[in-house]
Structures are given as C-alpha cells and as structure tokens.
Amino acid sequence: MNIVTQCCGIALLIIIAYFYKRQKKVDLRSSRYFGRALMVGLVCLILDVVSVFAIMADRLYGGSIGSPSIVVDIICKLYLIALMFMAYFGFAYTTTLMPVTQHGEIIIQRASFFIYLTGAAVTFVVPIDYYTNGTNITFSFGPSCIVTYLFSFYFLIITFVMVLIYRKRVPWNITISMISWVLCGSLTAGIQFFHPNLLLVGFGTALGLFVLFLELENPVIRIDRTTGLFNLSTFQMYIEDFYKKDLQFSYIYVKIIDDLASTSERYSAIMMSAANYFGNLPHSKTFYDGQSGYIIVFRDPVAASGKAEEINHRAHKFCEEKGINFIEAFETQGRRADSVTEILELLGQLSVNGEYSDSNIIVMTDSMYERLRQERNMAKEVENAIAEDRIEPFFQPIYSTNEDAFTGAEALVRIRREDGSIVPPGMFIPVTEKTGQVTNIGDIMFEKTLDLIKNGGLADLGVKFIDINLSVLQCEDDTLSDRYLQKMREADVPPQMFCFEITETAMIVDRDSLLKNLSAFRAAGCSCSLDDFGNGESNLNYVVDMPINFIKADRSMVTKYTESSRVGLIMDSMIHMAKGLSLKVVAEGVETAEDLNAMENLNIDYIQGFYFSKPLPKDEYITFLKKNKRTA
C-alpha cells in the first residue's frame, strides 16, 4: 500500500509535538493556533491512512470499484474535509502573525470559516470515486476531490496574498516561513492532482508544519540561552497580543548594572541568580532583553503594584551582596505606549529621563512618553533635513580687538523647516547627540563651510579663520583629521582658515583619539580652541596638554564679570594663564557696550556676541563683512 509518506508525516508530527509540548512556552495566540494545527495535521494524516485501508478492505471484502460502500465514502470524505480544514487553519494561523487588530482578525477568520464550511458541505454532498490495484496503488478521485483541491488552493492563495500585503510590517522570517508553508502545500497538491497515485498532500502538510516549527514556533528560539528566560523577540510578540486584544497590562523593568571589568563567569552567575528569582514570580511572565535587563509582565496591575516594592527590596539586598547597582522601573499602564517599539525605546532612556519615586523606583509618567515622542519626531525632522539638504551653517562674526576688524566667525548649525522657519539648535542638538546624527551634521557643516571659504571670497574680506564645532562623537573618530585635511587639499583651501572647537566634555571622553585629531590639525596649520571654558569639567592639566591656540570664555562668565567680584578674579586669572601659555582668548556672549568695554579693558583678543551681530545666513554674513570691512 502507498502509505509510506503518510506514515513518515505522522512520525514527523509526533516528534514535533513531543518537543513542542515539553518546552515552556509563553501564552501567544499564534502558539495556541500552532498547537491546534499539529493536532489537525495528525488527524488529517491518520484519516489519510485509514481511508487507504478502508478502500483496500472494501476491495477485498466485496465492494466494487467505482461504487464504494457508504462507510468508505464517509471515511474518504472526512479525510478530504480534514485536508481542507488544514488549509483553512493555515490561513487562520497566518492572521495571528499579521499586524491586524483582533477585531479584524476575528472578522477575517469567521468569513474564511464560513467559506470552509461551504466547501466541506459541498465535498460531503458530491460523489467520490476511488481506484486500487489491490496491492500498492490506492487513491480516491472524482468531484469530491476536485472540490477539496479548489477550496484548499483558495486558502493557500489568500494566505500567500496576506503575507505579501504585510511583508514589510512583519519580520522577514515570518514572511519566508509562511511562503514555505504555501509552497509545500501547493507543490505536493499539484503533484498529487496530476499523479493521484502519489499520496503526497498529507506529507506536504507535515513538512510545512515542520518548517513553521523550526522558524517560528520552536520554543527553544524564544528562550535566552544565558538566563533560560523568554528573550526580547518573544516579549515583542507577547505584548503585541495585548495591543491586538486591546487589553491593558503592567510591567516591572529591572536592569542590573555591573562593573565593566567583571569577568564573564561572574557576569553569567549574576544574570542567572537574578533570572532564577525574576523567572519564578507568580502571575507573571519574565523576559530578558539581552543587555542585563529583566521585564516582568503582569496582566493584573494590582499584582504588579504589590510586587514592585518586594522586587525593589530584594534587588537592593541582592545588589549589595554582589557589589553592583540596578535600575527599577514600574509601569501600571503599559498601553500608554503607542507600540512595543516605543516601550523598548523608553526603557533604553530610563537612566537619562527617569523620574524616581521616594523608594528609588522609576515610575513611568505621561511626561516621559511625551519627551520620548518629541525626541523621536525631532530625530525624524533631522533625518529629513539631512536628506533634503536643509542643514545650514549660520555665521556669527568674531571681532579682533588688536586689528579692529572682523577677522573670524563661528559656524553654527541651523535646520530650516520646509516652511522656511528655523529650528532652534537647543531643540535638535541634544537629540542628535543621542541618535548619533550629530556626526553627519558635523560633516555637512564642514563641507558647506569649506565651500564658502573656497568660493565666497572671505580672505579678500579680511577673514582669517572660521570656527567649526566638533562633537564628542566626532572627536572619537580616528579618521576625522585625515578626512577633513584631505578635503581641504582637494578644495585647495589653506588649513589656516579653519579653527576646530571642542568642549571640555569632549576632553574627558576619548582623550587619545581627541589628541590624535587635534595634533594632526595643528600640524597641518589649523587652529584649535577650547569652547565654554569655565563651564564644564575644568581641569587645567587638560588645558596645558591640549594642542590648542584659543580658549573661549564662557558666556555666563562674560555677563557676570561686571556684577560679581569673584567672577572678575576668575576671569583675570584665566587671562593671565592664557597669556602665559601663549593662548588667545575669545569672549563669547558680549551683548552690551558695558560688556564690550570690560572685555577690551581686560585685553581680550577676540570678541563675539550679539553686540556686533547675531548668527547670520551665508549671504547675510557676506553682506555684513562687506559693510564692515576696514578700509586701508
């Protein structure tokens, strides 16, 4: 009898079911459907084998070919109906993986189930025939089989169409796995349709389920190997179920902060100890984010509230014993986030934007979500501005007291909105420093300033240097000086026209890379300056060691110089130190005639501020230079 492939399929599904049942699983809607699909697949294959035996028995014990008994008729049609149900169930399983609402999912499944019932009824009513040679070839055929093929192909086609529609909104492995499922069913059904003696459809179903198990439903792929807890991708799928069902949930997030010098053995032991505790909390599911963070999800906000203080107490004790630290956050209304992605973004920013309670637990608030959304929108605005060339340098003139002329300027970044208005730098610079976009902006500012120096005739207007601000991230780039100096050579612009500004914060981040870049700039003829001196991590040893030409007095010191005797003493000392180190001093934030007179009396070398001019767009800056050019 030709039942070898069916028996192989049954064995394969039994093995899958064994491994599937013995592993711990998170309560996902798709997983429940997959478990049912395994049972349906087994029933389908068993009915396939039983139908072959029934046909053979009918042939051996008095039935006539082409006129099957009522029992054989029912058994064969039950197999066909089960086969059609498997195709329907594959489509229903697919809907649980797609980003549709639960209401939409229910409507789709009910409509498709009605179509299945229609197909099952027609299959049961129309006649069926079969053939057997009495030994190794047995199969059914006729109108009932054709109806089954048509309806099964219908479900395979709409499964394929749904996957194509949502392919950009689901992970690639879901798309590939569901297409593989469709191909397994379609190819084996097509082969059996043209060669009915090859009973491959049942085995094709088992093979498709095997692919789904390996790629999507294998519990092992949902488990983090270090901790034995559910991993981050499983957390995303689990929470998406809450969004689909429009259900509220709560969660507690605990992040362990260990010493960077900790050994891998110590780190693993700490993570396992924490996982053993968090993973055994009742009425919850615990997930590990892969970066020392544990997310404990509760369906009941009351249960979560009761556990937050207990976890905080246990975590304090645990971390004291291990000599480590931790952050704990508590969210009673998980649905305040627009999506799982927003939850993960917020958790990633807790240490920066966290609002702590009296017990040192970060309590999620509406304002935290609002800040996150504002930052995300601004990051998108910056991304679009970069793509659409809306990053502009504005230039604030710098006045030389010795030459009585505007011999320099500072290039300050601005973003022009699509409507022509300007985004204030305070709104986007902190965001770009978090996202890393500041490096792209820095490169754009350099290239546009380089173009102005080359083509704007600045040297003829008395300009001797333009200040370019370097971000912390730029300072950490070992290739920065090589790239910029190469572009100066290609543009035939003398390096002396550039002065690169760093902040005191940049000096303490990656000092080796910073020194390499600044030394290369200085060796090529560029100038370097220390910005906002007196308003950061001031360390005179750093100033002595840095290859700089200028220091810029912080704006707050300039404005308070005439008001505070202490500030006056500090300014006097700073200028004395600068002169002793052969450094030039630039006073920023000079806004009044009183400020100007005070700075000139201190013998400040350069003055910058609104007293002379606000930062100007390129064309207005050129006009300013022409208007204020010193005549011989």
Helix (H) or strand (E) holding 121: helix 102-125
User: According to the model, what pLDDT value does residue 132 have?
Assistant: 65
pLDDT tens digits, one per residue of 551-560: 888 777 777 7
pLDDT tens digits, one per residue of 600-621: 888 899 999 999 999 999 999 9
Q: Which residue has the higher pLDDT, 313 or 407?
A: 407
Total number of residues shown for the chain: 632
User: According to the model, what pLDDT value does residue 421 have?
Assistant: 92
Tokens of 70: 């009522």
Q: State how far the Cα of 369 lies from the Cα of 375, in Å rounded to an integer.
A: 10
pLDDT of residue 536 exceeding 80: no
User: According to the model, what pLDDT value does residue 66 have?
Assistant: 45
pLDDT-derived band of residue 134, with 50, 70 and 90 as boundaries? low
pLDDT-derived band of residue 376, with 50, 70 and 90 as boundaries? confident
615-619 contact pairs (CB < 8 A, 24+):
615/394, 615/395, 615/396, 615/410, 615/412, 615/414, 616/394, 616/395, 616/396, 616/397, 617/392, 617/394, 618/392, 618/393, 618/395, 618/452, 618/456
DSSP string, 290-350: SSSEEEEEES-HHHHHHHHHHHHHHHHHHHHHHT-EEEEEEES-GGGSSSHHHHHHHHHTH
CB neighbours of 222 closer than 8 A, spacing ≥ 6?
A: 25, 26, 230, 231, 233, 234
Spatial CA neighbour of 458 closest among 412, 424, 409: 409
pLDDT-derived band of residue 509, with 50, 70 and 90 as boundaries? low
Tokens of 56: 């053979």
Q: Which residue has the higher pLDDT, 343 or 449?
A: 449
Q: State how far the Cα of 533 lies from the Cα of 287, in Å rounded to an integer.
A: 46
Q: Which residue has the higher pLDDT, 360 or 580?
A: 580
Q: Counting Cβ atoms within 10 Å, is residue 6 exposed (0-12), middle (13-18) or buried (19+)?
A: buried
Kindly list the structural domains of the chain, giving each domain's residue range(s) and its CATH number in brackets, ordered by start: 4-220 (1.20.1070), 223-364 (3.30.70.270), 386-627 (3.20.20.450)
User: According to the model, what pLDDT value does residue 65 have?
Assistant: 45
User: According to the model, what pLDDT value does residue 157 have?
Assistant: 93
Pick from 60-64, 78-82, 296-300, 540-544: least confident? 60-64
Mean predicted confidence (pLDDT) in 213-236 = 84
pLDDT tens digits, one per residue of 245-280: 778 889 988 888 766 555 677 778 888 888 888 888
Mean predicted confidence (pLDDT) in 448-463 = 93
Q: Which residue has the higher pLDDT, 611 or 226?
A: 611
Query: What are residue 330's DSSP bridge partners?
Result: 252, 363
User: According to the model, what pLDDT value does residue 415 have?
Assistant: 95
Residue 519 C-alpha from the chain's centroid:
37
Strand, coil or helix: 406: strand
Average pLDDT, the chain: 84
Cα distances (angstroms) measured from residue 208 to each of 60, 145, 184, 191, 525: 35, 21, 6, 16, 68
Q: Which residue has the higher pLDDT, 240 or 397?
A: 397
pLDDT-derived band of residue 490, with 50, 70 and 90 as boundaries? very high
Q: State how far the Cα of 397 lies from the Cα of 609, in Å rounded to an integer.
A: 8
DSSP state of 630: P
Q: Which residue has the tokens 């991590």?
A: 537
Q: Which residue has the tokens 């499922």?
A: 181
393: left (phi over 0), alpha (psi -120 to 50) or beta: beta
Q: State how far the Cα of 310 lies from the Cα of 179, in Å rounded to an integer.
A: 47
pLDDT of residue 547 exceeding 80: yes
Mean predicted confidence (pLDDT) in 376-401 = 93
Cα distances (angstroms) measured from residue 113 to each of 87, 93, 108, 247, 313: 11, 12, 8, 25, 51
Pick from 156-165, 358-367, 407-416: least confident? 358-367
Cα torsion at 262, 268, 274, 277 (round to 10°)?
-160
Q: Helices 102-125 and 232-245, interaxial angle, to 10°?
A: 80
pLDDT-derived band of residue 1, with 50, 70 and 90 as boundaries? very low
pLDDT-derived band of residue 504, with 50, 70 and 90 as boundaries? low
Q: Are 48 and 199 in contact (CB under 8 A)?
A: yes
Q: Which residue has the tokens 């059914």?
A: 140
Q: Counting Cβ atoms within 10 Å, is residue 377 exposed (0-12), middle (13-18) or buried (19+)?
A: exposed
User: According to the model, what pLDDT value does residue 384 have?
Assistant: 94
pLDDT-derived band of residue 410, with 50, 70 and 90 as boundaries? very high
Spatial CA neighbour of 81 closest among 130, 138, 37, 145: 145
User: According to the model, what pLDDT value does residue 319 have?
Assistant: 81
Q: Which residue has the higher pLDDT, 77 or 218?
A: 77
pLDDT of residue 173 exceeding 90: no
